[in-house]
A and B are shown apart, each in its own frame.
Chain A
Amino acid sequence: MITVIAIDALEYTLVEEFNMRNLKQDYYGRTDISEFSEPRTMVLWSSFMTGENREAEILAKGDKEMWNTRIPHEETFFSHFKNPFVLDLPGYNYDLEQHRRERELLKEFFEEKDEERKREVRRKYNENAFAHHRRVKERFFEALEGDYDFVLGYFSVADVIGHLNFGNRSLMKMIYRDLDDIVSRVEGKKIVLSDHGMKAVGAFGDHSDYGFWSTNFRDLGRPRITDFKRIVLQEALGE
């Protein structure tokens, strides 16, 4: 049994700076995503689950349609397991409505000129993301109790909150603490993986061009995101 804690936009340098021991586990480092033209969430997770660079295919869908990507189960390495549980992963089974609402509020925020109303939009945006995070956590911990041979939980909170609040270090640290805590409560072999990190742009956050990985079983060096298919299957099934 192996568990993957997939965390969108978990930033290597912040994990270091905040010294988040559980996120770091025993071995950790950056992933190499230089083969991609830009650090795009949908492209990266799609490539992760298939073990192939899916950039061209995803980009061809266009900016809007891209977010509706649903890669068929048989094309993912999850299909190698008898009874896998994958929670809310973009490009596979994540909550489209939730994500649509996030993008809508984000757009509203940047279009709003009035400072007072802007703050109100941000409050709504944050609350929406946090509410989702609470639900995902609950379902994730339920799944860990279940009878699965593979569990993957996807957590978007660092990315979603980070985009509008990256300059609020105190808030970001609390989110990292929470994620750190989540990892500490998972038993057995585990991998923490992010698609890309995040860098400050003023008070906001933009994607940085490397991801984060950590394991409690071996050093992975500087893996590419497409290497994880092989790593997971090898560790879990000896394939």
Chain B
Amino acid sequence: MEREHLKLVIVGHVDHGKSTLIGRLFYDTDSLPREKLEEVRQICEALGRELEFAFVMDHLEEERSQGITIDTAQTFFKTAKRDYVIIDAPGHREFTKNMITGASQAEAAILIVDVSEGVQEQTRRHAYILSMLGLKQVIVVLNKMDLVGYSEEVFEKVRGHTLDFLKRIGINPTYVIPISAREGDNVASRSERMPWYTGPTILEALDTFKKTERRDGGPLRFAVQDVYNIEGKRIIVGRVEAGTLRRGDEIVILPTGERTRVKSIEEFMREGVEEAPPGKSTGITLEDKLFVDRGQILCRLEEETPKMVSEVKGSIFWMSSEPLQVGESVIFKCSTQEAPCRVEAIERRIDSSTLEVIEESSSRLENREVGEVTLSFASPVIVEDFNVTPELGRFVIEKEGNISGGGIITRLEG
């Protein structure tokens, strides 16, 4: 049987120890390729320093970016219970563009805070994103306990401040764990240097979390990416955003509303495929020759289908030095849909670091601000409330050719 895997995101202020923690998690669970570890160990030795996990992670990342193939298993770390997949952390390179798509796929989050520095600007921003995305399974780790002599007093103080802040944005972490990522305390094994701490280690804490991803239940949403004609067959390629697609399913195509059946599921070198689980990219053929195109969504006939709307309200996290302005036209991207939209209104501009409401109603949204925004479309889009179907409820905004913000849909109108 396939092992269960849980998607995890690790966020926190720069230098608070994300890379080190990731390296430590891989190392302590024996999930690092040995020869790579050995290479890095030798270089560290040559440089006259101890092996550092940040170096190991750099090394793996560097090779990956150069296209030197890395076994996919290496992006997993394993516990006795399941595998964990680390989703590229937002803020790794100061707000990566895929923040919304990345973090919104996560089922659990670790927020890392350097105990000697406490909550900092990016701690706040990242926490805000977690809160916006409604992540409930959150572990706060107070890192670098070695720098404060493993002091319970310091831990309690910073823990208090951190929880106060998180409470303000509606995050109630399941665990707060004192760790030293570098020394390995309370990551995979219990620290003898903090006998006063009786809670779980990070791995134990993670293992108590539940998979939130619907395994196969929920209504089907198949987003069309492309249509190919191969050897006389018309193959529709797309991604199962939600639900499970089965051969023989009676489906309806949105927005045209036409109906047909799934004739076959086409996978490379595989015959007679019966179903495609959520998250799977695959090809299908249909019983009837209907008009199908990129951006369309296929749903199951007997299930509730998403609405087609010409106006949505959403929370947008803006990440560009070019502000978003009321009245302007930008590109809205959701799943495989791409549609021009007009910014109708910006309500409640919030500074994502101080959480201060800058303005109740505004004409613009500046870099690193969050706003409640109303967008309108000339022709309807197929979207859903983020809390109902996250895959069709998150979007990014492209302005002048650049992904400049991301957000979630909170209300559908029209």
Contact = CB atoms under 8 A, between A and B. Distances in A.
Interface of A: 19, 21, 126-127, 130, 133-134, 137-138, 169-171, 173-175, 177-178, 181
Given A177-B54, A177-B58, A171 B43 contact: yes
A178 B47 CA distance: 7
Contacts of B229: none
20 contacts: A19-B93, A21-B15, A127-B46, A130-B48, A133-B46, A133-B47, A134-B46, A137-B48, A138-B48, A170-B59, A173-B58, A174-B43, A174-B44, A174-B47, A174-B58, A177-B55, A177-B58, A178-B47, A178-B49, A181-B49
9 nearest CB pairs, A to B: A134-B48, A130-B46, A170-B62, A178-B47, A170-B59, A174-B43, A169-B62, A174-B55, A173-B58
Interface string B232-264: 000000000000000000000000000000000
Contacts of A133: 46-48
Interface of B: 14-15, 40, 43-44, 46-49, 54-55, 58-59, 62-63, 66, 93
Contacts of B15: 21
Nearest to A134: B48
Contact of B59 (A21, A126, A130, A174): A174
Contacts of A19: 93
A10 to B, nearest CB: 15
A134 B62 contact: no
Contacts of B47: 130, 133-134, 174-175, 178
Contacts of A137: 48
A10 B93 CA distance: 22
Contacts of A174: 40, 43-44, 47, 55, 58-59
Contacts of A127: 46
Contacts of B66: 169
A171 B47 CA distance: 11
A170 B48 contact: no
Contacts of A21: 14-15
Contacts of B58: 170, 173-174, 177
A177 B62 CA distance: 14
Given A170-B59, A178-B47, 17 more contacts: A21-B15, A133-B47, A134-B46, A134-B47, A134-B48, A137-B48, A138-B48, A169-B62, A169-B66, A170-B63, A171-B43, A173-B62, A174-B40, A174-B58, A175-B47, A177-B55, A178-B49
B59 to A, nearest CB: 5
A120 B14 CA distance: 39
A174 B42 CA distance: 11
A126 B54 contact: no
Contacts of B48: 130, 133-134, 137-138
Contacts of B55: 174, 177
Nearest to A172: B62
